[in-house]
Amino acid sequence: MSVQTSSGTGAFRTAVVPAAGLGTRFLPTTKAVPKELLPVVDTPGIELVAAEAAEAGAQRLLIVTSPGKDSVAAYFRTDDELVKTLESRGKGELADKVRRAPGLLEVDSVYQYEPKGLGHAVAQAGPALADDEQAVAVLLPDDLVLPTGVLARMAQVREEHGGSVLCAFDVPREQISAYGVFEVSDTGDDDVKQVHGMVEKPAPDEAPSTFAAAGRYLLDRAIFDALDRITPGAGGELQLTDAVALLISEGHPVHVVVHRGGRHDLGNPAGYARAYVDFMLQHPEYGEDLRTWLNERLKD
Ligand code: UTP
């Protein structure tokens, strides 16, 4: 489903993908390879997220990267030589795969020179927006939200309620302390809640709800002004959630769409392994073999 682009509605043109972090949980690999380029089967996580943004109607991907991670934006450039070589060798299917990422949407990048947190990374995108862009989507490239489609739903909710819209998962209470948790009240729609606050990693009996934050945001342009006004929070970093909390305290409407689906966290080896196996098992070429091998392996 595609979202109409016009200011003052739920629409957005630009999808910001913060990819300037250090990726410490994937060291030593991330010394040389950005974690956003690690493959899920054969495709980097950031391409899966770019495809999701394009499907939701985004026209431009704005990658926030760092000088040491230029390969992330480079991945989206066309490579005519490689395509020609593959085609001349009769490998048309591979040529199609190579063409896929550059063909998804227009791609630009901005630098975050120091990894001062997610809020700071998103702030770098502000000056790169056109004057008439009233909202911007933010997608964390290490968070796969499945099936895709939640951004389009979030755009509808912004159209209805205004303000900013985030994405939540309903998590079993005993697991809630791993997440940022929303304090919410009901709306007429079971899958849409109004947000009154957020608590980071609460104990299960202190969690204000079981709705945990996921890496999809549809933010009103007011977020950039709020990002300018917050001070470093947890870990000495500028936190995006602190800027959202500031907006809430000033009466800015914030809602969440509760996504009833799956999720993979590609940002750490354990979550990445699950995502890789999950995608492999569904793969028409590799799935069957892997399933047979895994069944044998698990008998040991
Ligand atoms: P993460 O916290 O998952 O990424 O941030 P990280 O900091 O790179 O990973 P670890 O914790 O050291 O292993 C979520 C997303 O936000 C980006 C990251 O690149 C990642 O895609 N990010 C984070 C930035 O762009 N800048 C930052 O300062 C922090």
Question: What mean pLDDT is predicted for residues 240-263?
Answer: 96
Ligand 1 mean position to 299 CA, how many Å? 37
Asked if pLDDT for residue 70 goes beyond 90, the answer is yes
* pLDDT given for residue 3 in this prediction: 35
User: Which residues make Cβ contacts (< 8 Å) with residue 155, sequence separation at least 6?
Assistant: 3, 9, 10, 11, 12, 56, 57, 165, 218
Ligand 1 mean position to 23 CA, how many Å? 6
The protein residue with its alpha carbon nearest to ligand 1, atom 1, reads 21
Ligand 1 mean position to 286 CA, how many Å? 31
Q: How confident is the model at residue 35 (pLDDT cuts 50, 70, 90)?
A: very high
Give the chain's domains with CATH numbers. 11-141 (3.90.550.10), 149-260 (3.90.550.10)
Best of 22, 38, 268 for a ligand 1 pocket test (most atoms within 8 Å of beta carbon): 22
C-alpha 196/C-alpha 184 separation (Å) is: 6
Q: How confident is the model at residue 233 (pLDDT cuts 50, 70, 90)?
A: confident
* pLDDT given for residue 200 in this prediction: 84
Ligand 1 mean position to 53 CA, how many Å? 19
Query: Would the CB of 19 count as within 6 Å of ligand 1?
Result: yes
- Nearest-atom index, ligand 1, CA of 18: 25
Asked if pLDDT for residue 6 goes beyond 80, the answer is no
pTM of the model as a whole: 0.95
Of 110, 73, 105, 41, give the one whose Cα is nearest residue 266. 41
